[in-house]
Amino acid sequence: MNMIKYIFFLGRKPLLSLAELVSVLPPETEYLALQKEFLSVALPAELPTPQKLLDRLGGTTKIVKVDLESRSGQLAQMISDLAAEKFQGRTDKIRYAISLHSLTGTSEQLLKNSLMLTKKKLKKSELSSRFVNNNFQNPPTALLLGENILGKGAEFCAVEMDGGNWQIGQTVAIQNINDYTARDFERPERDPKLGMLPPKLAQILINLSGVRPEAADSEKSSIYDPFCGIGTILMEGILMGMDVTGSDLSAENIDKCRKNLDWLNKMVTDKRAALVARLGAEAVDKQPLGKSRLFNKDATKIIKSDLPTNLGAIVSETFLGPPVSRTPTPSQIEETQAMVENLLAGFLTNLQPLLPKNATVVLTLLAYRDENRYLTLTKLHQHLEKFGFAADPLLPEPVIKALGLDAKAAETMIYERPDQTVCREIVRLKPLP
């Protein structure tokens, strides 16, 4: 089989981003290399709609389709040849960008040479062009979006892999940071006391669940969030076309959640209408938004009839403890962990007999960072079987082996920001038969 290579540019937490990709890429994917934040894979066929795929991936920032491989001495020439072939026959002024990513950090001169040689090659081919790289640096995402580089030109990327070989290709999808900013900061209801789950992480959690609205098995196409808060996970599920159900102990949170979901539906509807008016109906995403259902209830008292009939997964940000303005003392950490573990023990014990066969549970759990170690809910992990669940590793063993990863490093997935003491541990659970 003639495999097609791609490079996925991963976010701040590469292993978590990798786990998300493993959950959505086809089973036939060959995992070639994970170096820093770059994942190289080979797929059995071209990605049909790479931007649509990227828009639902919280942990990936860019997708590059690999065209060529080269040593550094040939790099500039090969990029310029690729650009000349790409833009052959164009009569308008071309915009292009080049980004080089070296594991050794010695690509600045290579980048300058590549930009200048490409401009000369295009001029020789009687093509008018300009590169958008400022000061001969790799272009940031905001610049690429602002220049509409994929619509009006191209970005050519090269990533140095082990052994000094470079993989060269064209960017086929760029993360739309503006859309994430709008969903995070422009929604009507935000509440720092509820932990402020980022939309990107909500996407990762949903993807880790394995639920796919387009899958043939439509009987398991919805998600349920029993700690829905202001609705971040539900919003991202709706955008993916999933039916979502949410509940929360707080009636106030349910009201806030409903306002956010109404806002999301209006924002997407208005945006699509504007695109239809400007570009025509054929240029607009026709995927319907998912439907939602909300109710007010204690998550430890859920009953069978509360669950959606087509439930595929529970996906939720669980209680991360009371808000803190400073690092808790060891005794405060121990007390909070015990309180949270007691809550989750009741929740899981009640939930297990209600779940359909093969349902998945993806949760964020409270964790603390203490210098260079993480303090997780150890007792909860030790008693999972007692609650009727088993841990489902986020990275399968074949992928760990293929990429030469440390199995222990992949056991615990933590999401946090550099200045945070309170963190999130990401877990995936399967109910025991």
* Model pLDDT for residues 178-196, shown as the tens digit of each residue: 999 999 999 999 877 766 8
- 300 pLDDT exceeds 70? yes
Nearest CA to 420 out of 337, 343, 320 is that of 320
Paired sense of beta strands 30-35 and 60-70, if any: unpaired
**What is the sign, positive or negative, of the torsion defined by CA atoms of 60, 62, 67, 70?**
negative
Using one digit for the tens of pLDDT, what is the confidence trace for 95-108?
999 999 987 777 88
The pLDDT, as a whole number, for residue 162 is 80
Q: Which residue has the higher pLDDT, 164 or 24?
A: 24
Using one digit for the tens of pLDDT, what is the confidence trace for 311-358?
999 999 999 998 887 889 999 999 999 999 999 999 999 999 999 988
The pLDDT, as a whole number, for residue 216 is 52
Using one digit for the tens of pLDDT, what is the confidence trace for 216-249?
555 668 999 999 999 999 999 999 999 999 999 9
DSSP conformation letters of 211-252:
--TTSS-GGG-EEEETT-TT-HHHHHHHHTT-EEEEEES-HH
Is residue 145 a contact partner of residue 177, using CB atoms and an 8 Å limit?
yes
